[in-house]
Amino acid sequence: MNYDLFDNDNSGEYWTEGICDGAVVLRQFATNTAPELISVINLITQQSPFRHMKTTGGYTMSAALSGCGSLGWISDHAGYRYSAIDPTTGLSWPEMPAVLFELAQKAAAEAGYDNFTPDACLINRYKVGAKMSLHQDKDEQDFSAPIVSVSLGLPATFLFGGKQRSDKTIKVPLTHGDVVVWGGEVRKNFHGILPIKADSHLLLGEERINITFRVAG
């Protein structure tokens, strides 16, 4: 694996690792801004509380969800989709803070995806034991834009697969401050998170927070 060091006055020193063509990890890219990210997430989730959504099959997701931006992702018996209204509050989703929007843009640009303008920011909270099964991000209207995914708190193992659920997956360890970006030919590849292992993090305790940016509308 080749490592390229960069300097970025927003994110500090970080390095990149390729997962496959079109997908990279920006190691420690968000570490320096993490305290501010956590602060704005706390404000967002006061307005739009974490909740455990159900799959179309009626199963409760182990990761809790909130979000911000003009669109938010929702799941219920009617299916998976984006909505301008948070069904829990009946209100619009909180506005996406500039610190989140700018981080997503910079991460996408570093990964080779310029002019990224996300309109949806999903915030997942993982407690110990929570996971995310293999799935595709395919509810968006425009697949030409990448996915930008920020990890905070407890470590996780990210699974990155292929076009079919049965395809072999690559296991990618993620730690606090890492950012994964993927797009192009691998934009709709299956991916997931293995169950979070028991541990404690200085800033988030026994939790992992994942912030995912998308162009949904």
Q: What is the CA radius of gyration of the chain?
A: 16
Cα angle for residues 191, 154, 196 (degrees, 5° grid): 55
Asked whether residue 9 is marked as a ligand-binding residue, the answer is no
Asked whether residue 93 is marked as a ligand-binding residue, the answer is no
Asked whether residue 191 is marked as a ligand-binding residue, the answer is yes
Asked whether residue 137 is marked as a ligand-binding residue, the answer is yes
Asked whether residue 210 is marked as a ligand-binding residue, the answer is yes
What DSSP element (H or E) covers 151? strand 147-153
Asked whether residue 213 is marked as a ligand-binding residue, the answer is yes
Cβ distance 5 to 13 under 8 Å? Answer: yes
Asked whether residue 214 is marked as a ligand-binding residue, the answer is yes
Asked whether residue 125 is marked as a ligand-binding residue, the answer is yes
Asked whether residue 126 is marked as a ligand-binding residue, the answer is yes
Asked whether residue 187 is marked as a ligand-binding residue, the answer is no
Cα distance between residue 20 and residue 160, in whole Å = 9
The beta strand positions in 64-206, using DSSP E, are 64-69, 72-76, 79-83, 120-127, 132-135, 147-153, 156-160, 170-174, 179-182, 191-193
Asked whether residue 167 is marked as a ligand-binding residue, the answer is no
Asked whether residue 176 is marked as a ligand-binding residue, the answer is no
Asked whether residue 209 is marked as a ligand-binding residue, the answer is yes
Asked whether residue 88 is marked as a ligand-binding residue, the answer is no
Cα distance between residue 88 and residue 77, in whole Å = 15
Cα distance between residue 204 and residue 207, in whole Å = 6
Asked whether residue 27 is marked as a ligand-binding residue, the answer is no
* 130 residue type, one letter: A
Asked whether residue 44 is marked as a ligand-binding residue, the answer is no
Cα distance between residue 49 and residue 143, in whole Å = 28
Cα angle for residues 183, 194, 150 (degrees, 5° grid): 45
Asked whether residue 182 is marked as a ligand-binding residue, the answer is no
Asked whether residue 169 is marked as a ligand-binding residue, the answer is no
- Which positions make up the binding site? 73, 80-82, 124-126, 135, 137, 139, 165, 191, 208-214
- Which positions make up the binding site for 2-oxoglutarate? 124-126, 208-214
- Which positions make up the binding site for substrate? 73, 80-82, 139, 165
- Which positions make up the binding site for Fe cation? 135, 137, 191
